[in-house]
Structure 1
Amino acid sequence: MMGTSSTFNASSTSNAFGAGDGRARSGGTSRRAVLRGAGAALAAPLAWPLLAGGVARAADGPIRGVDVSSLPKAEDLGAVFRRADGSTADALTILAENGANWVRLKVWVNSPDGYHDTARIAALARRAAALGMEILVDFHYSDSWADPGQQHKPAAWAGLDAAGLERAVAEHTSAVLGALVEQGTPAGMAQIGNEINAGMLWPDGSTDDFDRLAALLTAGAEAAAEVSPSTRRALHLAEGGDNALFRWWFDNATARAVPFEVIALSFYGYWHGTLPELQANLHDLVARYDRDVVVVETAYPFTLGSDDDHEDIIGEESQLVAGYPATPEGQLRWVRDIASVVAGVPGGRGLGVFYWEPAWTAVAGNGWDPADPASGNAWENQAVFDYQGTVLPAAGW
């Protein structure tokens, strides 16, 4: 491996990564401004039982997930993906061949560009299931991005009263998960909201009124259980290294009996703290709330160079986590180390890790703003395909 050596002991909370490495934290910053992500590197890639054709079975081992929500649009716009030997294939197949066993798919209520709706999610779920992969549905309950800095109501729900908004949440949840059940690809997990640190469906579901937020979350969670009983329900916050935040939030949620089975976290090391902080938080959450935990978003750059005219979210040396250079090797080490931290959660309650948008390459037209094809994605240097579309080592962590 190139760059500074990293030796994280998953049984220790000593900081082997350098807490003073100068990285910034996102706080409540909007994904529009900063789209947003951290151990000893595992000695060798984990072994995964294979289906015919070299594809990992979803039921075996921890989650090695990929959020491929942008993939259908990239494909429609002509993106090309290659295996390490140079042969072309669809990105989902390549990721599965490299060990990915879950997909995470975001759903918007009325997507401005026609993607991320129920029909698109269902089609992508069929592709994933055919490759032996499980499905996590990521409900944003918005027409576009939802994150700590923005949780806008769908336009069609803007005039609804409290009861009407709860019905809308339940009906939308039911419709999406029901469509997956109907086609024989039920979701293994569903997030009731995305990075809801400050709530969702503002202003009604803001954490300023946690009773209202709890009612909305309960409406979605109960609808999920009714239409898709085998689906595990997750509540998802960003800032995965901030234990005080997670305690405050989940103390409030559990006090109001919001039903859920999994605590989901985003953890980007250049914003969300250190790996020891993540480790301590995961261990505390399992002990305090008796729930499983999963990191549903992380990523790291393989280069600081850009593949288009748009500035990347992470494009400066000063933004990097100490010990993890912006190289293919540094990217791989990052994902292995965060997976090691999650795998070390007591009792096997760390479910695994999802890599956020590993196939979001700089294909023209597939920008962050669904209403503006010229917006650029600012993320291509954190994909696990290089600028020729060839898969990188991090895909096989």
Structure 2
Amino acid sequence: MRRLLVALLCLATLAAAAPAAQAERRLPVRGADVSSLAKSEALGGVYRHADGRRDDALRILAEAGLTHIRLKVWVDPADGYNTKTQVLAVAKRAKKAGLRLLVDFHYSDTWADPGKQFKPAAWASLPFDELVRAVYAHTFDVLDALRRQGTPADLVQVGNEINGGLLWPDGSNQNWANTARLLNAGYDAVKDVSRRTDVVLHLANGGDNGLYRWWFDNAAAHGIRHDVIGLSYYPYWHGTLEAFQANIDDVATRYRKPVAVVETGYPFTTADDDGWENLILSPEPYPGYQATPAGQAALLSKVSDIVRNVPDRLGLGVFAWEATWTGVPGNGWDPADPSTGNAWENQALFGFDDRALPAMRALGRG
């Protein structure tokens, strides 16, 4: 009888411990990029809980279990959005909702990605030493304003999808010494505002291990400082889930840095809501995952699972890209042309009826 009681007690203890162990395995960062939110709201965009109740999009995200938002920063965009002004305003709301903040510096007046890293117009003719100082000053200015507002950044990207460097041609990684000076200027600005803020270096093509080894081996050789390795992984562009898993596991263990997917996404429909052709139109963009609300949720859950299982608990988190970029007229991809659509509304975390989709809670469970 005594042995039976001991066995029952052990089973009860294990059962009680299971929820705690499961909770410990949740990703520390479960986030969404909401860079489009301020402009969407200004143009009449609204957001609703799954049951139809209208609410602040940030509260909806937080109640679904998300922990962070991501906001991009452009220097002098044509439409006046994605600047320090909007970052400060949205950050204040986010902190009130209990969300933490990743700030994503593009160092451009428009999109920066592997195919384009255009200098801001105001920096176009600066000598290189002054360009380095401009990176520092711009980074410090935005982050110090956030700190003084009482909403400091928790994570900061110095550059966006910098596969080929930044601020071309000066900062192209055809000249790694220049790339290093620019990135370290950004790093120094971040740390001069707050030593507790982690600096992320972000590449695209999350399934390409050759790219990541080449890039971060060169970064180490040239003294480029950072705290976190960020990846973009879109399964319909960046290779198989298996290739992504192999790469993120290798990168984390090879460089002994936390890793985070700072951009991912998947469609919940093939339909269009704004008259502008969407980027992804296939009913099954990745094998086994339909372009449906359930398929979107399953894909984001799978990406989260892969990050959560990175060796040595080095998987930091996942951000769904442009979760609030719904089909609001005027909120298009080109800041210089209000007639453009966004091509992304079928991959947001809110449906065409403005309601939160199942993928939001899937991401929040992390």
Q: Give the structure-2-normalised TM-score.
A: 0.91
Q: Counterpart of 1:208 in structure 2: which amino acid?
A: Q
Q: Which residue of 1 aligns with 2:5?
A: none
Alignment of 1:83 onto 2:49: yes
Q: Which residue of 2 aligns with 1:387?
A: 352
Can you list the C-alpha shifts for 1:113-161, whole angstroms capped at 9, x where unaligned? 1111112101111111111111000000000100001100000001111
Q: Which residue of 2 aligns with 1:117?
A: 83
Alignment of 1:198 onto 2:164: yes
Q: Which residue of 2 aligns with 1:271?
A: 237
Counterparts of 1:124 and 1:80, CA distance in 2: 15
Q: Counterpart of 2:190 in structure 1: which amino acid?
A: A
Q: Which residue of 2 aligns with 1:187?
A: 153
Secondary structure (helix, strand or coil) at the match of 1:115 reads coil
Can you list the C-alpha shifts for 1:190-238, whole angstroms capped at 9, x where unaligned? 0000000011100001111111111100111111111121110010000
For 2:311, which of 322, 326, 346 is the aligned residue?
346
Q: Give the structure-1-normalised TM-score.
A: 0.84
Counterparts of 1:355 and 1:277, CA distance in 2: 19
Secondary structure (helix, strand or coil) at the match of 1:331 reads helix
Counterparts of 2:227 and 2:274, CA distance in 1: 41
Counterpart contact for 2:27–2:315, Cα < 8 Å = no
Alignment of 1:326 onto 2:291: yes
Q: Which residue of 2 aligns with 1:5?
A: none
Counterparts of 1:213 and 1:379, CA distance in 2: 31
For 2:340, which of 372, 375, 385 is the aligned residue?
375
Secondary structure (helix, strand or coil) at the match of 1:208 reads coil
Q: Counterpart of 1:87 in structure 2: which amino acid?
A: R
Counterparts of 2:247 and 2:57, CA distance in 1: 33
- Name the one with the larger helix percent: 2
Counterparts of 2:229 and 2:235, CA distance in 1: 19
Structure 1: runs of 5+ lacking an equivalent:
1-43, 50-59
Once the two structures are overlaid, the 10-residue window that deviates more, 281-290 or 350-359, is 281-290
Counterparts of 1:377 and 1:67, CA distance in 2: 15
Alignment of 1:225 onto 2:225: no
The CA deviation at 1:48 is 7.5
Q: Which residue of 2 aligns with 1:74?
A: 40
What is the RMSD of the two structures over their aligned residues, measured on CA atoms? Answer: 1.6
Alignment of 1:359 onto 2:329: no
Q: Counterpart of 1:223 in structure 2: which amino acid?
A: A
Counterpart contact for 2:269–2:283, Cα < 8 Å = no
Counterparts of 1:169 and 1:268, CA distance in 2: 29
The number of equivalent residue pairs is: 342
Q: Counterpart of 1:355 in structure 2: which amino acid?
A: A
Structure 2: runs of 5+ lacking an equivalent:
1-18
Secondary structure (helix, strand or coil) at the match of 2:270 reads coil
Q: Counterpart of 2:222 in structure 1: which amino acid?
A: R
Q: Counterpart of 1:342 in structure 2: which amino acid?
A: V
Q: Which residue of 1 aligns with 2:217?
A: 251
